[in-house]
C-alpha cells in the first residue's frame, strides 16, 4: 500500500460485491458460537427425534404465529395450546398447509430468510414454499426428521456449534445439563443464570420463588443477607455446570444503589407483600446493581435485556399464556438509568455487562457513547425485532463510529427454533460481510483489516465477551 488514504474515499463505493463474497468465503466455515438462546437442553440430553415439521418449525415460533394472529387467524389453528385445555390439537399436516398457504405474509421479513435458508441447507427443498408445495415439503421434512442424521446431537455437530448456552430459571435443577455433563457426548452446552422470578416482585411466582430459593439453597431468604447469599450459591451451581453468564429481563434499565440498610428494608417490604408504590421497580433496580456486584466477584458476564411490555393483549394472555408475540417494546433510557450501577461498580476489573435494547434510538445517542467509554460495558447485538437485515445494518451504522466493533459482543441467535440456528448466524455473517465490504469500497477500511474484523465479528468477540 503506497498511501494510507485513497483519493476516492467516501465518493464511489465500487467493488463492494467482490469484497463481500471474499469475506463470506471465510466467515461461512467458522464455527458457531451461541452464547445466548432459548433451546431446550432436554433435546440434547435425550437426543429424541423431533416430532414433525409443524411442531418443529411453526407452533413454537412466536415470530410466525403472531403474524398469523395479526391477520385474524387463530393461534390454536397453528397448534398453540389453550391455557384452559379446550380444543383439540390440529393435525400437523393441516397446520403445515395453513402455514404454507400464508407463507407470503413473511415476504421481506427475517423469518422468511431464516426459513428459506433452513429449507435449502438443511432439508434440501428446491421449490419455494406455497400452498402448491405444502404437501411435498411436509413429506420431505417429515422423512428427514426420522433419520438419525436429524437427531438433535447430530444436528449440533453438523451445524458446527462450538458452544451453545441455554437460558434457565434460577431455581432450575439443571438436570439435563447435569446429564449432559456426564461425559458421554462431547457437545458443549452450558446454562445461563436467569433469576427474574426471584428479583422481580411483580412476577406472579415471586413469593413461591423465594420459598423455593430457601429450599434449594438452605439459606434463610427471610433476610436480605440470606437472600443475597442464596443467589451466590445458585450462581456457583450454574458455574459448576459451565455457565459463564447471567441474564436479566427487565421492563427498563433503571438501576439503584441503596445503602445496605435501605436495601434490606426494601427487601423486607417486597418479601412480606407490603410493597409501597414504586417499591417493585426500585427493588428490580437495586437487584441489577447487586447482580453486577456479584458478577464483579465471580466473573459471570451480566446480560441486561430491558424494554418489553409483556402480554399486551390480555385476552391472548388469558387464552394462551406468555410468549405469544404480544410483547411490545417501549421507549428506552440508559444514560441516567445506569449511572447508579456504573458509579457503584462500573470500574471493577472483572465486571462485564452486555447491554441490549428494543429501542434503536438509543444506539447512537446513549449505548455507543456509554460502551465507548465505560470499561465494563459491551453492546449486545441487534435484538429480537431488530435481529433482521435492516436492523443489523442500522446497529452497525449507528454504533461502530462511536464504540468501534471491539466494544460489541458478536452475534446471539437467541432462538427457541434449533433448526434455524445456522440460518440466523448465516444471515448475520452476510450482513456483516456486506457492511465491512461497504467500508472497504468506501476506502474507510483496508481489505486486510476487514478480514481480521469478520473473524472477530463471527467468533472472536463472542468468545471473549462471554468468556467461552
Footprint on residues 139-198 left by a copy of itself (CB under 8 A): none
What distance in Å separates the CA atoms of residue 307 and residue 180, rounded to the nearest whole number?
Answer: 34
Contact string (CB under 8 A) for a copy of itself, positions 388-417, x = contact: xxxx-----xx-xxxxxxxx----------
Q: Number of helices (H) and strands (E) in the chain: give both, helices first.
A: 22, 11
Binder to a copy of itself among 310, 312, 322, 467 (CB under 8 A)?
312
Cα dist from 460 to 345, 454, 457, whole Å: 26, 9, 6
For the bound state, the minimum distance from the C-beta of residue 10 to a copy of itself, rounded and expressed in Å, comes to: 4
Cβ neighbours of 278 (radius 10 Å)? 9
DSSP readout, 131-156? GGGHHHHHHHHHHHHTSGGGSHHHHH
> What residue ranges in 37-192 does DSSP mark as E strands?
161-165, 168-169, 189-190
Binder to a copy of itself among 154, 188, 385, 463 (CB under 8 A)?
385
Cβ closest to a copy of itself, residue 12 vs residue 175: 12
What distance in Å separates the CA atoms of residue 452 and residue 152, rounded to the nearest whole number?
Answer: 32
What distance in Å separates the CA atoms of residue 445 and residue 459, rounded to the nearest whole number?
Answer: 20
Cβ closest to a copy of itself, residue 223 vs residue 402: 402
Cβ atoms 334, 304 nearer than 8 A: no
Cβ closest to a copy of itself, residue 198 vs residue 421: 421
Cβ closest to a copy of itself, residue 86 vs residue 314: 314
Binder to a copy of itself among 14, 132, 147, 175 (CB under 8 A)?
14
Cβ closest to a copy of itself, residue 188 vs residue 365: 365
Q: Which residue has the cell 456426564?
A: 182
DSSP state of 128: -
Binder to a copy of itself among 48, 143, 452, 467 (CB under 8 A)?
452
User: Of 431, 429, 323, 322, which Cα lies nearest the Cα of 384?
Assistant: 323
Cα angle 127, 416, 52; round to 5: 50
Cβ closest to a copy of itself, residue 221 vs residue 415: 415
DSSP readout, 202-235? TSTTHHHHHHHHHHHH---TTSHHHHHHHHHHHH
Looking only at residues 423 through 442 of this chain, which bind a copy of itself when binding is defined by CB under 8 A? 427, 430-431, 433-434, 437, 439, 442
For the bound state, the minimum distance from the C-beta of residue 448 to a copy of itself, rounded and expressed in Å, comes to: 9
Contact string (CB under 8 A) for a copy of itself, positions 17-56, x = contact: x--xx--x--------------------------------
Q: How big, in percent rounded to 5, are the helix, strand and coil portions of the chain?
A: 55, 10, 40
Q: What is the total count of residues that contact a copy of itself (CB under 8 A)?
A: 109
Binder to a copy of itself among 194, 235, 386, 425 (CB under 8 A)?
386
For the bound state, the minimum distance from the C-beta of residue 464 to a copy of itself, rounded and expressed in Å, comes to: 11
Looking only at residues 72 through 101 of this chain, which bind a copy of itself when binding is defined by CB under 8 A? 72
Region near a copy of itself per CB under 8 A, out of 138-146, 237-245, 284-292, 446-454: 446-454
Cell numbers given for 226: 440470606
Cβ closest to a copy of itself, residue 139 vs residue 215: 139
Contact string (CB under 8 A) for a copy of itself, positions 197-226, x = contact: ------------------------------
Residue 342 interacting with a copy of itself (CB under 8 A): yes
Cα dist from 332 to 277, 360, 379, whole Å: 21, 9, 15
For the bound state, the minimum distance from the C-beta of residue 275 to a copy of itself, rounded and expressed in Å, comes to: 21
Looking only at residues 103 through 132 of this chain, which bind a copy of itself when binding is defined by CB under 8 A? 104-110, 112-113, 116-117, 119-121, 125-129
Long-range CB pairs of 436-440, under 8 A, 24+ apart, other chains included: 436/19, 436/20, 436/23, 437/16, 437/17, 437/19, 437/20, 437/23, 438/13, 438/16, 440/15, 440/16, 440/19
For the bound state, the minimum distance from the C-beta of residue 315 to a copy of itself, rounded and expressed in Å, comes to: 6
Region near a copy of itself per CB under 8 A, out of 53-61, 90-98, 164-172, 363-371: 363-371
Contact string (CB under 8 A) for a copy of itself, positions 267-296, x = contact: ------------------------------
The end-to-end CA distance of the chain, in Å, is: 36
- How many CA atoms lie less than 13 Å away from 86 in the CB half-sphere? 5
Binder to a copy of itself among 374, 451, 463, 464 (CB under 8 A)?
374
Amino acid at each position: 500500500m503506497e498511501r494510507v488514504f485513497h483519493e476516492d474515499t467516501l465518493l464511489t463505493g465500487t467493488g463492494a460485491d467482490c469484497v463481500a463474497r471474499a469475506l463470506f468465503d471465510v466467515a461461512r466455515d467458522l464455527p458457531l458460537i451461541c452464547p445466548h438462546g432459548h433451546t431446550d437442553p432436554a433435546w440434547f440430553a435425550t437426543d429424541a427425534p423431533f416430532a414433525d415439521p409443524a411442531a418443529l418449525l411453526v407452533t413454537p415460533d412466536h415470530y410466525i404465529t403472531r403474524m398469523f394472529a395479526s391477520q385474524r387467524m387463530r393461534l390454536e389453528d397453528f397448534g398453540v395450546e389453550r391455557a384452559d385445555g379446550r380444543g383439540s390439537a390440529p393435525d400437523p399436516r393441516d397446520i403445515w398447509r395453513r402455514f404454507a398457504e400464508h407463507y407470503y405474509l413473511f415476504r421481506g421479513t427475517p423469518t422468511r430468510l431464516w426459513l428459506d435458508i433452513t429449507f435449502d441447507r438443511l432439508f434440501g427443498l428446491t421449490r419455494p414454499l406455497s400452498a402448491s408445495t405444502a404437501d411435498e415439503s411436509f413429506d420431505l421434512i417429515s422423512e428427514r426428521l426420522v433419520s438419525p442424521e436429524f437427531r438433535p446431537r447430530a444436528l449440533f455437530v453438523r451445524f458446527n456449534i462450538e458452544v451453545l448456552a441455554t437460558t434457565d430459571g434460577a431455581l432450575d435443577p439443571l438436570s439435563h445439563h447435569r446429564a449432559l455433563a456426564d461425559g458421554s457426548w462431547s457437545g458443549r452446552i452450558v446454562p445461563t443464570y436467569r433469576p427474574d422470578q426471584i428479583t422481580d416482585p411483580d412476577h406472579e411466582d415471586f413469593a413461591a420463588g423465594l420459598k423455593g430459593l430457601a429450599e434449594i439453597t438452605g439459606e434463610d431468604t427471610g433476610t436480605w443477607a440470606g437472600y443475597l447469599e442464596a443467589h451466590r450459591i445458585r450462581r456457583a451451581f450454574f458455574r459448576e455446570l459451565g455457565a459463564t453468564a447471567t441474564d436479566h429481563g427487565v421492563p427498563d434499565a433503571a438501576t439503584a444503589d441503596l445503602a445496605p440498610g435501605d436495601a434490606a428494608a426494601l427487601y423486607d417490604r417486597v418479601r412480606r407483600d407490603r410493597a409501597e408504590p414504586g417499591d417493585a421497580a426500585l427493588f428490580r433496580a437495586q437487584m441489577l446493581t447487586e447482580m453486577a456486584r456479584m458478577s464483579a466477584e465471580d466473573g459471570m458476564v451480566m446480560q441486561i435485556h430491558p424494554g418489553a411490555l409483556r402480554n399486551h393483549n390480555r385476552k391472548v394472555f388469558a387464552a394462551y399464556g406468555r410468549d405469544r408475540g404480544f410483547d411490545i417494546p417501549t421507549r428506552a433510557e440508559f444514560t441516567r438509568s445506569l449511572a447508579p450501577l456504573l458509579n457503584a461498580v462500573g470500574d471493577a476489573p472483572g465486571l462485564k455487562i452486555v447491554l441490549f435494547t428494543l429501542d434503536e434510538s438509543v444506539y447512537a445517542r446513549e449505548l455507543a457513547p456509554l460502551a465507548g467509554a465505560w470499561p465494563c460495558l459491551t453492546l449486545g447485538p441487534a435484538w429480537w425485532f431488530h435481529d433482521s437485515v435492516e436492523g443489523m445494518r442500522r446497529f452497525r451504522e449507528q454504533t461502530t463510529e462511536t464504540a468501534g466493533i471491539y466494544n460489541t459482543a458478536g452475534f446471539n441467535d437467541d432462538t427457541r427454533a434449533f433448526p434455524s440456528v445456522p440460518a440466523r448466524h448465516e444471515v448475520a455473517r452476510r450482513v456483516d460481510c456486506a457492511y465491512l465490504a461497504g467500508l472497504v469500497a468506501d476506502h474507510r477500511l483496508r481489505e486486510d483489516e476487514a478480514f481480521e474484523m469478520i473473524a472477530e465479528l463471527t467468533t472472536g468477540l463472542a468468545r471473549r465477551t462471554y468468556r467461552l
